[in-house]
């Protein structure tokens, strides 16, 4: 709460759609340069789970959570759970009664169209529709949005304001990233200057504390357009200055989720843990791993149960039926892999004799049939699970198998043993990518760097280590050498809680 002796806190966020960082640096942008000089301007790499599209990127900026939570995967917002994760203009208005303001010309940001609105219930809003999706009409729209925002900033008392400007993005789409695109960036910088001038002209500006944040959502290809994974498309940026934001590059890489966290911090509003924000205020250093072992995350096939040979035999049978005999050379593309990955491999080596989808279904059906006969826990598996549970260490199961297979195995292992289970298809990517282990750690509320993953295959090993976990490797087929934060044992009978704790402590 502000007192008579403390300045009133205000935040202005300017969202500038589709500005490539490398080309921004060649444009004449004195007003953005001034923000950067008083604070910083740094790149933001759009994470692998987030499409390089306006909808998911602005949703992450506004809510402080990523696509796995806010559920916006494209420019049509339908089916989202945004009511659970309100935007930074709605939450202060609804929960604290603060004056907030949003001005924009893109429909789903403010209107109940295309699955919107993203900004659900700010205290005040201004929607200005462009006459048509042309460069000229979007320039006119941005001028009107800016004029409305200048009026509100000068005559009202919004504590949080979000102003969206879209002309640069439209120019990139229609004309590519040439001279007209640079000119659009420079005109948008002039609009930013008008907004900053309106703030400085406020009658009580000297008694106020203002944080300014400028952010873009994605870049563009040279020819215009985005949605891919090129460096030009996935590199965004944030610029900011204000109280508590030191000048100079922040001490960590920033993410879109950090914008909402900074808005709340600049308001002096402590974020409620129940909001489950994923970002941090800009000046907050990256969290260090909590001391000690926080959780153990187990692979299933070949680690806890003797199902790895069943998967191999199933793949051999499916491939043989298509005229090809799998050999040892195929093991890296089969062992520890999801059914989808194995299906693509079999499809390729058999010359496409059957559709990938059909091969995947045959693999799943055959594997389920074999597992249904009763998987055998590997020596020491149940004893280790029970010993860890007795020590109060949370356990997770992270598998590249389909959920139907995981549930069959859990029926024998005991589903009560695991606080969380992750199966193939329940994350954007399966092993060897980090997503499954990151999802398990997130569900447990722990830092993956303070977890030990127990794995048997190179694919699983790559997944766990990419997530930052320490690893206990118990190879089932391919040899696995020791390495930093990786211990190799011949089996689980030699493992105990003390050893697993030492892997994190070391």
Question: Which residue's structure tokens are 């640069």?
Answer: 168
* Side-chain half-sphere exposure of 196, counting CA atoms within 13 A: 20
| Distance from C-alpha of 506 to C-alpha of 504, rounded to nearest angstrom | 5
DSSP letters along 302-369, please?
A: TTTBTTHHHHHHHHHHHHHHTT----GGGGGGTTT--HHHHHHHHHHHTTTSS-HHHHHHHHHHHHHH
CA distances from 139 to 143, 169, 188, 222, 230 (A): 6, 11, 9, 21, 27
The model's pTM is 0.63
Q: How many CB atoms sit inside 10 A of residue 244's CB?
A: 13
Which helix (H) or strand (E) covers residue 194, if one does?
helix 179-200
Tokens of 216: 């873009």
3-state DSSP helix/strand/coil percent for the chain, to nearest 5? 45, 15, 45
> Number of helices (H) and strands (E), helices first, in the chain?
19, 13
Tell me, what's the pLDDT at 506?
57
Tell me, what's the pLDDT at 70?
92
Helix (H, G, I), strand (E, B) or coil at 112: coil
Tell me, what's the pLDDT at 3?
41
Share of the chain above pLDDT 70, in %: 96
DSSP state of 205: G
Tell me, what's the pLDDT at 46?
95
pLDDT at 498 over 70: yes
CA distances from 263 to 12, 49, 81, 360 (A): 9, 24, 21, 46
pLDDT at 88 over 50: yes
Instruction: Band the pLDDT of 41: cuts 50, 70, 90.
Output: very high
Tally of residues, the chain: 506
Tokens of 93: 């208005």
Nearest CA among 166, 258, 178 for reference residue 223:
178
Question: Which residue's structure tokens are 């995967």?
Answer: 73
Residue with more model confidence, 408 or 152: 152
Tell me, what's the pLDDT at 2?
42
Tell me, what's the pLDDT at 271?
87
461-494 exposure pattern, b = at least 16 Cβ within 10 A, e = fewer: bbbbbbbbbbbbbbbbbeebeeeebbbeeeebee
Q: Which residues pair with 45 in a beta bridge?
A: 235
- The 10s digit of each residue's pLDDT in 106-149 is 999 999 988 899 999 999 999 999 999 999 999 999 999 999 99
- Which residues are identified as catalytic? 299, 301
Residues 493, 494, 498, 499, CA torsion sign: negative
Mean pLDDT throughout 278-307? Answer: 86
Tell me, what's the pLDDT at 201?
97
Name which of 280-284, 314-318, 321-325, 406-410 the model is least confident about.
314-318
């Amino acid at each position: 709460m502000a007192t008579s002796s403390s300045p009133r806190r205000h935040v202005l966020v300017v969202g500038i759609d589709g500005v490539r960082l490398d080309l921004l640096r060649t444009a004449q942008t004195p007003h953005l340069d001034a923000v950067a000089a008083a604070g910083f301007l740094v790149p933001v790499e759009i994470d692998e789970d987030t499409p390089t599209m306006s909808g998911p990127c602005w949703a992450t900026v506004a809510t402080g959570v990523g696509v796995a939570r806010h559920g916006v995967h494209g420019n049509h917002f339908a089916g989202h759970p945004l009511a659970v994760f309100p935007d930074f203009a709605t939450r202060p208005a609804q929960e604290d009664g603060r004056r907030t303001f949003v001005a924009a010309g893109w429909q789903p940001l403010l209107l109940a169209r295309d699955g919107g609105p993203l900004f659900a219930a700010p205290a005040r809003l201004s929607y200005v529709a462009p006459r048509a999706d042309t460069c000229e009409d979007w320039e006119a729209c941005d001028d009107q949005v800016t004029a409305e925002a200048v009026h509100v900033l000068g005559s009202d008392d919004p504590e949080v304001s979000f102003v969206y400007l879209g002309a640069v993005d439209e120019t990139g789409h229609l004309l590519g990233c040439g001279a007209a695109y640079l000119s659009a960036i420079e005109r948008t910088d002039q609009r930013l200057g008008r907004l900053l001038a309106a703030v400085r002209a406020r009658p009580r500006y000297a008694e106020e504390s203002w944080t300014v944040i400028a952010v873009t959502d994605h870049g563009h290809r040279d020819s215009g357009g985005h949605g891919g994974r090129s460096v030009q498309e996935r590199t965004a940026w944030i610029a900011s200055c204000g109280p508590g934001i030191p000048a100079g590059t922040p001490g960590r890489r920033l993410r879109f989720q950090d914008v909402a966290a900074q808005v709340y911090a600049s308001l002096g509003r402590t974020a409620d843990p129940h909001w489950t924000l994923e970002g941090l205020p800009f000046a907050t250093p990256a969290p260090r791993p909590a001391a000690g072992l926080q959780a153990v995350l187990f692979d299933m096939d070949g680690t806890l149960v003797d199902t790895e040979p069943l998967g191999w035999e199933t793949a051999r049978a499916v491939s043989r039926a298509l005229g090809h005999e799998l050999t040892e050379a195929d093991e890296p593309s089969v062992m520890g892999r999801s059914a989808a990955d194995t299906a693509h491999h079999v499809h390729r080596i058999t010359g496409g004799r059957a559709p990938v989808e059909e091969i995947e279904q045959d693999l799943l059906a055959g594997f389920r049939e074999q597992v249904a006969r009763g998987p055998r826990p590997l020596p020491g598996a149940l004893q280790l699970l029970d010993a860890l549970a007795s020590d109060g260490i949370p356990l997770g199961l992270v598998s590249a198998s389909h959920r139907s297979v995981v549930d069959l195995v859990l029926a024998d292992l005991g589903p009560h043993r695991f606080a969380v289970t992750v199966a193939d298809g329940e994350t954007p990517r399966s092993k060897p990518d980090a997503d499954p282990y990151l999802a398990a750690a997130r569900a447990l509320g722990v830092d993956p760097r303070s977890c030990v993953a127990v794995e048997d295959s190179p694919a699983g090993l790559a997944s766990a280590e990419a997530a930052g976990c320490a690893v206990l490797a118990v190879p089932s087929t391919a040899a696995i050498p020791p390495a930093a934060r990786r211990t190799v044992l011949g089996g689980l009978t030699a493992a105990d809680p003390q050893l697993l704790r030492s892997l994190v402590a070391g």
